[in-house]
A and B are shown apart, each in its own frame.
Chain A
């Protein structure tokens, strides 16, 4: 193989400065580990969420499945093998599979009460997420129509802290700041550690003028 015929890792990693549109695609192409897969997937999910947050008005009457279908459609357009309600430990909301055998599962809830978020979290961590190698990370996506979205996320984080889950730890999310956080805990079935990203989606809409 001639090097001139191909692109080096350096050339592909250097696209961010000159062609950010291609850099996003190159990042997906270069995924070589489960950690990289989840990191790149979260960048893409964040873009989906940003798109939704940019137009909350049209989403005020949307049901949970309709909102989740938006995310699934955008991930499919980014060439992910993504499906809704696939039977993995039941009926997960979002299932993303990578060609190297990696799996990520997401559960999405409209925030109406913290008990409902707890139901979603339990479904995700005890039913859908198997907690096995290359399938031990998932996401709880929280559609929030209330004002003060950051406070909802903060309160949810506090409730989780108080649950005394096995080997539990939480850490902030650098990218979405107060609108997201990560938790780690021991998975009841596998006995291995699993990591969940909790993502608040700001769909509040109440213009004063």
Chain B
């Protein structure tokens, strides 16, 4: 475990000392990151967080929210559109516009995607701080 990881675990403990279950889950994720290479963690899903923290999918939301918040700063949140098994990363500005107008167009064809909220998924990438927590050598 490198110094960055130890400092991050301490910072999380200070932030979440009044939320013991969230603290344990977030620290489990940080320890997991320290055991893996950044290149193996390109798309971090709620499912992965759930397996690492031993939580049902829906209960991973507070973990992901803290780790991607301005306090956590370990994940960057991303949006992925999955249509006909094709994946498209959608910039957050486009998602904001789609939510406002209730309309999202296909990035390639320009066709309006019906019920786009069902095809738009949230996932996470490591932030610059998050990358510093990962394993750098074997």
Contacts and interface: CB of A to CB of B under 8 A. Distances in A.
Interface of A: 1-10, 12-13, 15, 19, 22, 25-26, 28-30, 32-33, 35-36, 76-77, 79-81, 97-100
B92 A32 contact: yes
A139 to B, nearest CB: 18
A1 B61 contact: no
9 contacts: A10-B115, A10-B118, A22-B58, A28-B65, A29-B68, A29-B77, A32-B92, A97-B70, A99-B76
A98 B92 CA distance: 14
Interface of B: 15, 18, 43, 45-48, 57-59, 61-62, 64-66, 68-73, 76-77, 79-80, 82, 87, 92-93, 95-97, 99-100, 115-123
A1 B125 CA distance: 12
Contacts of B48: 5
B122 A10 contact: no
B120 A9 contact: yes
Contacts, number: 111
B70 A99 contact: yes
B118 A33 contact: no
Nearest to A99: B70
Nearest to B70: A81
Contact of B61 (A12, A32, A97): A12
B84 to A, nearest CB: 12
Contact of A3 (B61, B82, B99): B82
A22 B62 contact: yes
B50 to A, nearest CB: 9
A181 B115 CA distance: 35
A6 B117 CA distance: 13
Given A79-B71, A98-B70, A6 B65 contact: no
Contact of B95 (A4, A32, A35, A76): A32
B93 A6 contact: no
Given A7-B122, A12-B122, A28 B82 contact: no
A86 to B, nearest CB: 13
Contacts of A97: 70
Contacts of B45: 1-2, 5-6
